[in-house]
Amino acid sequence: QLQLVESGGGLVQPGGSLRLSCAASGFTLANFAIGWFRQAPGKEREGVSCISTGGSTNYADSVKGRFTVSRDNAKNTVYLQMNSLKPEDAGVYHCARSVLGCTVDVRAYGYWGQGTQVTVSS
- pLDDT (tens, 9 = 90+) of the chain, 122 residues, equals 899 999 999 999 999 999 999 999 999 999 999 999 999 989 999 999 999 999 999 999 999 999 999 999 999 999 999 999 999 999 999 999 999 899 888 999 989 999 999 999 99
Residue type (1 letter), 25: S
Q: Characterize 42-57 residue by residue with b for buried, 16 or more Cβ atoms within 10 angstroms of its Cβ, and e for exposed.
A: eeebebbbbbbbeeee
Backbone angles phi, psi at 66, to 5 degrees: -115, -35
